[in-house]
Amino acid sequence: MNQEQMDIKTPEYVSIQFQLAGLGSRATAFIIDQLLLWTVNILSLVVMFFVMKGISEFPFFLDENSMPLAITVIALFIINWGYFFAFEFFSGGRTIGKRLLGIRVIQENGHSITLLSSFIRNFIRIIDSLPVGYFLGMIMVFFHPKHKRLGDLVAGTIVVHERKAKGKKKLSPLEKEIQSRGLTKDHLQIDEWSLKSFAKKDWKLISTYAGRFSQLPTAEKNQLTKQIAEILFSKIGLETDGKDDRDLEDKLLILYLILKDEWEFEI
C-alpha cells in the first residue's frame, strides 16, 4: 500500500535512494520523546508546587504569589514545542527518540532540514495532534504514499531511516588514510551554531578536497590545504597560523567527517 523506498534526484543530478520511515518507527520515536517531555513536565510542576507552597498557604490562588505558576506554564509551553523544533534543526533532523530509532527528518531534495522547515513542520504539529492523541497525524502518515503528516506536506520534508552499513565494506583510499591517522569526529568539537554556518558550497569544497586528497602531489596538497583551511576554519574559530601541514590536513579531514554526517544521506 505504502512505498518504502524513495528516489531523489538532487540539484546536482545525483540520484539518491532513501528508505522512508513508516508509522511504526515514527510513532515509537514520538513516544520516547513524549516520555522524556512528560518527565521534565512532572519535575517542573513538582518544583513549582513546592516553590509556591513556600510563599503562600494557598499555592494556586491567582494573586501576586502566582508568578511561579505563570512562569512554569510559559516555560513548559516553550520546552514542549521548542524541543522538536530545536533538536530537528540543530541535531541533523533527529530528536532523541528519532536518534534511538535510527530515523531523521530531511528536505525532499535530500539536504538537511532548514530552520524555516523545522519551524513550519513543528508549528503545524498543533493541527496534526487533533482531535486527540495525534490522531490526524497518524492517519496522514499511514495513508500518505510518502508517510507524510500535514507538517511534512507544508514544510516539504520527509522522514527517512539512517544509512546502515551492509556487511564488511572495503575501505576507500581516503578512509584508509583517515583510519591510519586515527582520526574521528570526536577529535574536533564544533558547536551547533558554528556547524550550521557551513553551506552547501562549503561541503562541496571540502568533499572535493577529500576526494582528491590521496592523489595530489605533496606540494599541491600543502598549498590547497592551507587555502581551504583559511576559508573554512574561520567559521569555527580555528587559527591556521603556526599550524604545520600535517595538523591542518588532520583538522580538515575531521571536518570532512563531521560535515559528511550532515550533508551526505545515502542509504
Identify whether the C-beta of residue 32 lies closer than 8 Å to the C-beta of residue 12: no
Non-local (6+) Cβ contacts of 44 within 8 A are: 72, 75, 76, 79
Mark whether 141 and 55 lie in a shared domain.
yes
Non-local (6+) Cβ contacts of 46 within 8 A are: none
Q: Look at residue 112 and give its three-state secondary structure.
A: strand
Non-local (6+) Cβ contacts of 267 within 8 A are: 16, 17, 18, 19, 160, 161, 162, 163, 164
Mark whether 23 and 91 lie in a shared domain.
yes
- Radius of gyration of the chain, Cα coordinates, nearest whole angstrom: 23
Residue finishing a domain among 127, 161, 195 = 161
Around 174, how many Cα atoms within 13 Å sit in the side-chain half-sphere? Answer: 17
pTM of the full predicted structure?
0.64
Question: What's the CA gap between 196 and 262, in Å, rounded?
Answer: 9
User: What sign does the dihedral 136-137-143-146 (CA atoms) show?
Assistant: positive
pLDDT at 118: 93
Mark whether 189 and 92 lie in a shared domain.
no
pLDDT at 76: 87
3-state DSSP percent of the chain in helix, strand and coil, to 5: 60, 10, 30
Question: What's the CA gap between 44 and 76, in Å, rounded?
Answer: 8
Q: How many CB atoms lie within 10 A of CB 155?
A: 24
Identify whether the C-beta of residue 233 lies closer than 8 Å to the C-beta of residue 206: no
Number of domains in the chain: 2
Instruction: Classify residue 166: in a domain, yes or no.
Output: no
Mark whether 31 and 141 lie in a shared domain.
yes
Question: What's the CA gap between 52 and 39, in Å, rounded?
Answer: 20
pLDDT at 165: 53
Mark whether 88 and 218 lie in a shared domain.
no
Mark whether 17 and 147 lie in a shared domain.
yes
- In the block, which residue shows the cell 530509532? 101
Tens place of pLDDT for every residue, the chain, 267 residues? 344 777 766 554 555 678 899 999 999 999 999 999 999 999 988 887 777 776 555 444 445 556 777 788 888 888 988 999 999 988 888 999 999 999 999 988 777 888 999 999 999 998 998 888 888 999 999 999 899 999 999 999 999 988 665 555 677 888 888 889 899 888 888 887 888 888 888 888 898 888 888 888 888 888 999 999 999 988 888 888 888 889 999 999 999 988 887 776 543
Mark whether 31 and 126 lie in a shared domain.
yes
Mark whether 153 and 48 lie in a shared domain.
yes
* Enclosing domain of residue 213: 173-263
How does 222-248 read in b/e, with b if 16+ C-beta sit within 10 Å?
bebbeebbeebbebbebebeebeeeeb
Identify whether the C-beta of residue 183 lies closer than 8 Å to the C-beta of residue 152: no
